[in-house]
Amino acid sequence: MLNYREYFKPFYQRPVDDLLVNKKNLIGVEIGIFQGHHAREMFEKLDIVKLYLVDPYRKYDSTLSPHLESAKEEAKRVLAEFKDKIVMIYKESVEAVKDIDDESLDFVYIDGGHSYDAVSQDIPAWYPKVKSGGLVGGHDYTPDYFPGVVKAVDEFCKEKGVVLNAKYGVQRKEGPATNRDWWFVK
């Protein structure tokens, strides 16, 4: 039988997380929880005191959609030991953001809706919530799979005049490269 820890774990270890190692008492948010595996990696690697996790678990334009109800239950199981440091927000990203104070977060990791419209709403919505010097980033900056993510990120960075970074994580198979983080420092 496939062993999760051996096979999938490397794909949830993201370049953005490496930038937060050695920082203390982190408060952050992940948009898009799904089964909670990346959130768990963050807890295992980083000194997080509070993590807001945002996901409405509602059908959206993705192959993940049919699995959302079981994903929500899986996330509760995967994250159970960190629950005292987690604030679950079962809302759309642009609604959830209203619950968060401006300049209160050390990082935001955007991995919710992957369309151009979704990402081009998420970045400007969450940007004000991050402290100066904090990290704004996300997943799937991959032109072959998610051109809308790339376009929305590029447009925002150009408009703000910030330096965009991108780095691939572990690759799974042959074919176009995937699993690439993007980020900039606010």
Ligand X SMILES: C[S@@+](CC[C@H](N)C(=O)[O-])C[C@H]1O[C@@H](n2cnc3c(N)ncnc32)[C@H](O)[C@@H]1O
Q: Which is nearer to ligand X, 12 or 184 (CB)?
A: 12
What minimum distance in Å lies between the beta carbon of 1 and ligand X? 21
Closest to 113 measured CA to CA, from 175, 59, 151, 177: 59
How many other C-beta atoms can be found within 10 angstroms of the C-beta atom of residue 46? Answer: 20
Q: Which is nearer to ligand X, 19 or 71 (CB)?
A: 71
Q: For 28, phi and psi rounded to 5 degrees?
A: -150, -175
What minimum distance in Å lies between the beta carbon of 141 and ligand X? 13
Q: Which residue is nearest to ligand X (CB)?
A: 32
Q: Which is nearer to ligand X, 27 or 42 (CB)?
A: 42
Q: Which is nearer to ligand X, 56 or 137 (CB)?
A: 56
Enumerate binding residues for ligand X (CB under 6 A): 12, 30-34, 37-38, 54-57, 60, 64, 68, 71, 92-93, 111-113, 118
How many other C-beta atoms can be found within 10 angstroms of the C-beta atom of residue 22? Answer: 8
What minimum distance in Å lies between the beta carbon of 137 and ligand X? 12
Residue 94 and residue 97: Cα distance in Å, rounded?
5
Residue type, 151: K
What minimum distance in Å lies between the beta carbon of 25 and ligand X? 22
Q: Within the chain, how many helices (H) and strands (E) appear?
A: 7, 7
